[in-house]
């Protein structure tokens, strides 16, 4: 059901561009931007309306012709327009909130889906242990404490634990997944620029927890392919 819903939403996004797609960084940045934008718009409207009303009904101002229901200090204002304005504002708020929730959920469906079937995706197994990470590539090559991946290419991580509960995450790449013994968690990332990104365990797992870190090195595709050819020779 999730796969069907995700495929349906993704198809719609390709046509209408409703939901953002791409790297996790881009998607989360878009969600953050929309929330900040709507919050700013609502805040400006509310504060502007409050200031306008405060100026209009300021103490000592002369009553205007349409000030039939002018509020008086110490008295509750009488009902206006049988509550129609309040009903309209509530309905408008409900529409905005529901639309925002649906849009955010659709965006997160893309993030949470496991694109292991994407053409060219690199799948790496991640085994957490006290206190480090072991990365295993498709050809069986293993690396401790360093994960190398190509830029602009989906990398799927299959994460588990050798001993106790751990958590593998990288704030810069917007990834975070539990590592539990006997269970495989899947997540993915798509790095848009080369460089070295920090990753660490984000669940208290023992005395050496704070030292449980790893580097994620993102290489150009040609550099990654060259390293991929020579890694088993000890380079």
pLDDT in tens, 148-191: 999 988 899 999 999 999 999 999 898 899 999 999 998 889 89
Task: Mention every residue, 6+ apart, whose C-beta is less than 8 A from residue 171.
Answer: 198
pLDDT of residue 17: 61
Per-residue exposure over 108-142, b if at least 16 CB sit within 10 Å of its own CB, e if not: ebbbebbeeeeeeebebbbbbbbbbbebebeeeee
pLDDT of residue 130: 94
Q: Among residues of the chain, what percentage have pLDDT more than 70?
A: 76
Rounded Cα distance between 122 and 147, Å, is 12
For the question of whether the overall pTM of this predicted structure is more than 0.75, the answer is no
């Amino acid at each position: 059901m999730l796969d069907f819903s995700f495929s349906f939403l993704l198809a719609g996004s390709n046509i209408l561009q409703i939901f953002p797609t791409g790297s996790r960084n881009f998607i989360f940045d878009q969600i953050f931007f929309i929330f900040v934008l709507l919050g700013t718009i609502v805040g400006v409207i509310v504060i502007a309306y409050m200031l306008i009303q405060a100026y209009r009904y300021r103490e000592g101002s002369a009553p205007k012709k349409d000030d039939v229901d002018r509020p008086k200090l110490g008295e509750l204002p009488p009902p206006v327009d049988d509550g129609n304005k309040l009903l309209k504002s509530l309905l408008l708020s409900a529409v905005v909130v529901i639309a925002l929730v649906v849009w955010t959920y659709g965006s997160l469906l893309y993030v949470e889906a496991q694109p292991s079937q994407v053409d060219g995706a690199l799948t790496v197994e991640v085994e957490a242990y006290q206190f480090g990470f072991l990365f295993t590539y498709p050809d069986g090559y293993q690396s401790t404490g360093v994960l190398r991946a190509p830029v602009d290419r989906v990398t799927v991580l299959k994460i588990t634990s050798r001993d106790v509960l751990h958590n593998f995450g990288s704030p810069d790449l917007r990834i975070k997944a539990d590592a539990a013994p006997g269970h495989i968690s899947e997540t993915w990332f798509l790095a848009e620029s080369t460089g070295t990104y920090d990753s660490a365990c984000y669940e208290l797992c023992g005395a050496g927890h704070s030292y449980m870190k790893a580097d994620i090195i993102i290489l150009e595709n040609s550099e990654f392919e060259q390293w991929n050819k020579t890694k088993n020779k000890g380079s």
